[in-house]
Amino acid sequence: MSLVVLIISAAIVNNFVLTYFVGICPFIGVSKKIDAALSMGIAVTFVMTITAIVTWIINRFILIQLGLPFLEYVSYIVVIASLVQFVEMFIRKTSPALYKTLGIFLPLITTNCAILFVALLHTMRGYGFIESVVFGIGAGVGFTLAIVIMAGIREQLETADIPKPFQGAAITLIVAGILALAFMGFSGLVAA
Amino acid sequence: MATRSITYEFAKGLIKNNPVFVQVLGMCPVLAVTTSVVNGLGMGMATSFVLVSAALIGSLIKPLVPSEVRIPVYAVVIATFVTIADLVLRAFFPPLSASLGPYVPLIVVNCVIMGRIEAFATRNGPGPAVSDALGMGAGFTAALMVLGAVREVLGSGAFFGIELFGEGFTPLLVMILPAGAFLTLGVLMAIFNALKEGSHTVLIKAESKAEA
């Protein structure tokens, strides 16, 4: 699979949020305003790419070398948790402006299942190093796209007259369903 | 008194604080694996096992864990039980394990589990902690099964894999596709809200709106 196809597949055709249902919590929680959604998307893409790099190295050179594939989940979650903490400290020291925008979202990313999903999928599908990195970027772009579109729709929803039982999470899920239907239109774009 | 409160801790997870419909937690597996009732049941059982075991360990080791590193510690505890659940599923239920796929390891980041440990298990003894976890697990499993039932009946015309309708039935394919998951959960959540509010107030509102 060429890298361009891989990135389009991860970002649009098999969109993480709308096809694999990962990263739903921030998708619903942080999609009220477009700016916040965009910051969250950028933060997730950033962490996702680094996670893909680090977990690929760990899987290839530690877990497989030592015959410990059953430690995959435990080691990945520790890596992700510490990575997020590390990225947070790094951004706070080097770029206070960026930290102001991303700061509150970073701790939330640890429990974002999309991050762990990237690590699990590139292991499961046996991607090479470059492929894993590109896959991480593509998945992050797809997440950003979905959450920004969702925020745009929700800003409009605020003025809409929604029946009481549908207010809150229910209407958000239905909007996501319609969005998923729309994204199904891309499904013929890439085989596999 | 103690037994009564333990029953209460169990019961509140079923309806009042249902993790899916009320707290809107752990959405990823709820949407992803509920294409059939069996998948929902399997995912619910696996999650409940991890939830109960992790809550028990979490409440027991609490005095040993410094609060600064508690999140990584609990994450490792959860990941360990998820690994056990995954290996058991793979060994004894290979078809179920195959259809749940990568969503079994994703139990690690299911916010219901971390949420119950953080909010309840570490603040209570092992007894109430396990009882609370059992209730939450049961509520989670029930929600997954309801969603799975609706989607399986409409999307493949079957229930627990048994064909329900004759040849004339055309399955609503969209229900087992991703879009169907979002739509079904959205509508079920609205129904749950309406029932909780007391259905007649909703009806009165709808009537007055129709008159206006």
Q: What pLDDT score was predicted for residue B2?
A: 45
Report which of A132, A120, A87, A127 is spatially closest to residue A105, judged by C-alpha positions: A87
Q: What pLDDT score was predicted for residue B204?
A: 56
Over the stretch A126-164, which tens digit does the pLDDT of each residue have?
888 888 999 999 999 999 999 899 889 888 888 888 888
Mean of the per-residue pLDDT values of chain B: 81
Report which of B207, B183, B115, B170 is spatially closest to residue A166, judged by C-alpha positions: B183
A150 Cβ neighbours under 8 A, 6+ residues apart: A27, A31, A37, A172, A175, A176, A179
Tokens of B94: 């290979």
Reduced to 3 states, what is the DSSP secondary structure of residue B137? helix
Exposed/middle/buried for residue A128 (C-beta within 10 Å: 0-12, 13-18, 19+):
exposed
Q: What pLDDT score was predicted for residue B211?
A: 52
Residues of chain B numbered 65-84 and touching chain A (CB < 8 Å)? 71-72, 75-76, 78-80, 82-83
More confident site: B160 or B47: B47
A82 touches chain B (CB under 8 A): yes
pLDDT of A30 strictly over 80: no
Q: What pLDDT score was predicted for residue B212?
A: 47
Over the stretch A31-80, which tens digit does the pLDDT of each residue have?
778 887 888 888 888 888 988 999 999 888 888 888 887 888 888 888 88
| Residue among B31, B106, B194 whose CB faces A117 most closely | B106
Of the listed ranges A51-60, A173-182, B21-30, B94-103, the one predicted with least confidence: B21-30
pLDDT of B167 strictly over 70: no
CA–CA separation, B30 vs B112, rounded Å? 11
User: Binning pLDDT at 50, 70 and 90, where does residue B210 land?
Assistant: low
Question: What's the predicted TM-score (pTM) here?
Answer: 0.81
Over the stretch A67-106, which tens digit does the pLDDT of each residue have?
887 888 888 888 888 888 777 788 788 878 777 766 666 7
Over the stretch B78-110, which tens digit does the pLDDT of each residue have?
999 999 999 999 999 998 888 888 888 888 888
Most confident range (mean pLDDT) of B89-93, B160-164, B208-212 is B89-93
User: Binning pLDDT at 50, 70 and 90, where does residue B48 land?
Assistant: very high
Q: What pLDDT score was predicted for residue B84?
A: 93
Half-sphere exposure of B140 (CA within 13 A, CB side): 34
Q: What pLDDT score was predicted for residue A46?
A: 86
CA–CA separation, B85 vs A72, rounded Å? 14
Report which of A85, A88, A116 is spatially closest to residue A102, judged by C-alpha positions: A88
Q: Phi and psi dihedrals of B23, rounded to 5?
A: -85, -10
Q: What is the mean pLDDT of residues B29-48?
A: 88
ipTM of the complex, rounded to two decimals: 0.79
Q: Please, which residues bridge with residue A118 across strands?
A: none
More confident site: A116 or A105: A116
Q: What pLDDT score was predicted for residue B47?
A: 92
Tokens of A172: 């958000």
Query: Are the Cβ atoms of A78 and B75 closer than 8 angstroms?
Result: yes
A–B CB contacts, 8 A cutoff, strictly below: 130
Q: What secondary structure letter does DSSP report for A59? A: I
Question: Do A154 and A172 touch, CB atoms closer than 8 A?
Answer: yes
Reduced to 3 states, what is the DSSP secondary structure of residue B159? strand
Give the nearest chain A residue to B186 (CA atoms). Answer: A170
The size of chain B, in residues, is: 212
Report which of A115, A114, A61, A109 is spatially closest to residue A87, judged by C-alpha positions: A109
Report which of A118, A113, A114 is spatially closest to residue A135, judged by C-alpha positions: A118
Q: What pLDDT score was predicted for residue A188?
A: 72
Reduced to 3 states, what is the DSSP secondary structure of residue B91? helix
User: Which residues of chain A does B88 touch, with a Cβ-Cβ cutoff of 8 Å?
Assistant: none
